[in-house]
Homo-oligomer: A and B are copies of this chain.
């Protein structure tokens, strides 16, 4: 059942989120972590109804959804554990000299209520109870989540689990507000509301950029972190394909079609040099892609966009088909790999546009210099992958140096799909892959988007936040007078 909330309803929910925020500001780090573990338990306890509902709404395979649910639970737990260490409060104490030099103490607190817009391609891990919600609550911020129109029932089941967790913990429901409505106005009302102090979004460039523009142009500008995907180029250095073409083609095609190509980190561009056994490699790619069955995408809108983007690509001069998957059913996505010369690519911006789905473009470069020329014109990316040897890195330093300025994650071998939820993960990158290259939306560091510092000068100990008190009751690491320590003061 589709519900379109009125502007008044949305405003009431947003205003309520201030109460939830104040609550989260009052409880300690340890309590916030405990709350998150309870929410994780509630999500874990959701039964097959969740998986079946998500499968019905998203067409994603049941097994994948079971895995994604586990990942979602893990996000809440691992972020809770990270928060509890105190790493994100970055407590600093300068004790002063009791006279001219003041006693100053600083820590990071929640920035305020956060509006969150989930992605269609991860109905659990990047949606209602996804990483953005977990990291905002971990930061001490209440959340107002906009139901995803692609999976409203799944969203509602997840929202119910979150609220059950809050209630069981004793937190007010206003910690998690839930807004329903598919129109652009709903998103705009939410982002423009003065109570909202930050926004997180995962999805298309169009959607993310629109929210960013609203956020930075409102009367009080607010940070909008939008992760908007990219084409994740894979660079094959000379010599790499020799004796390796078949294995690499299989691996690449598997990454292209994984999840029907519906990942932010889907490899959309494959660059090779002509000296290599490129014709052999193309045959292997063709053989591999031909074996791929057609599959249902997340929803009709995405299928339509995919078909349109693909035919736009095909229509460009110099783009030829290497191979195509099966097309057995109606309204499915047919996988495909095309090729074009680097010269063609450099002349035509259309070729660097993301085709969201199981399609990839092979770019044949005359040599590594031309590969570098292509790299230079690419916009910011979430990932860049090098199929290379260690010798290649030595020989082509400038290629790697340029790549480091253009992406959030650099892979040596492997494929960009698969974003692990660990401290070292950076899921972000220079614009237009995100709106702020300084932040990640995956891994516990994602909480940083929603925290801001505050200093207390000569403030009486008993009224300081626990993180800054002399006795260090939370036993967190702090910097006291320029030294890291977990000691009390």
CA–CA, A424 and B87, complex, Å: 15
Whether the pair B438, A445 counts as a contact (CB closer than 8 A) is no
Q: How far is the CB of A259 from chain B (nearest CB, A)?
A: 17
Hey, which chain B residues are within 8 Å of A453, CB to CB?
Answer: 408, 426, 428, 438, 440, 445
* Mask of A213-228 contacts with B, CB within 8 angstroms, 1/0: 0001100111100000
One digit per residue, 1 when the CB lies within 8 angstroms of any chain B CB and 0 when it does not, for chain A 392-414 equals: 01000000110011011111111
Contact segment of A47-55, A162-170, A244-252, A477-485: A477-485
Contact of B393 with A424 in the complex, beta carbons under 8 Å: no
**Once the chains bind, are B457 and A410 in contact (CB under 8 Å)?**
yes
Residue among B223, B393, B409, B435 making CB contact with A455, cutoff 8 Å: B409
Q: Is the beta-carbon distance between A423 and B482 smaller than 8 angstroms?
A: yes
Residues of B within 8 A of A217 (CB): 216
Tell me if A104 and B420 are in contact (CB < 8 A).
yes
Count copies of this chain in the complex.
Answer: 2
Given A220-B432, A223-B436, A437-B111, residue A423 in contact with residue B94 (CB < 8 A): yes
- In A52-108, the 8 Å CB interface with B consists of 81, 87, 90, 92-94, 101-102, 104-106
Q: Of A115-123, A340-348, A458-466, which stretch is located at the interface?
A: A458-466
Known A-B contacts A390-B460, A458-B414; A102 and B212 likewise in contact (beta carbons under 8 Å): no
A240 CB contacts on chain B under 8 angstroms: none
User: Is A393's CB under 8 angstroms from B460's CB?
Assistant: yes
Give the residues in chain B near A1, CB-CB below 8 Å: none
Residue of B nearest to A108 (CB): B438
Given the known interface contacts A105-B424, A479-B423, the answer about A454 and B404 at a Cβ–Cβ threshold of 8 Å is yes
Which 10 pairs of residues, A with B, have the shortest CB-CB distance?
A426-B455, A104-B424, A94-B422, A92-B423, A409-B455, A92-B424, A216-B216, A106-B424, A94-B424, A437-B452
Q: Bound state CA distance, A379 and B459, in angstroms?
A: 23
Does A431 interact with chain B (Cβ within 8 Å)? yes
The verdict on A456 contacting chain B, using a C-beta distance below 8 Å, is: yes
Please, how many angstroms separate the alpha-carbon atoms of A405 and B112 in the complex?
8
For A221, the chain B residues whose CB sits under 8 A away are 212, 216, 431, 435
Determine the chain B residues whose CB is within 8 A of the CB of A431 once the complex forms. 220-222
Q: In the complex, A437 Cα to B452 Cα: how many Å?
A: 6
A423 to B105, CA, bound (A): 9
In the complex, the chain B residue whose C-beta lies closest to that of A458 is B412
Q: Is there contact, CB below 8 Å, between A454 and B410? A: yes
Inter-chain contacts of A477 with B (CB < 8 A): 484
Residues on the B chain within 8 Å of A445, using CB: 90, 92, 453
A463 touches B414 (CB 8 A): no
A198's nearest neighbour on chain B, judged by CB, is: B438
Q: Does A362 contact B (CB under 8 A)?
A: no
A415 nearest CB across to chain B (Å):
10
Interfacial residues of chain A within 222-248, with CB under 8 A of chain B in the complex:
222-223
Shortest Cβ gap from A201 to chain B (Å): 14
- Complex CA distance for A380 and B435, rounded to whole angstroms: 24
The minimal Cβ–Cβ distance linking A109 to chain B, given in whole angstroms, is 7
The CA-CA distance from A380 to B479 in the complex, in Å, is 27
Whether the pair A111, B438 counts as a contact (CB closer than 8 A) is yes
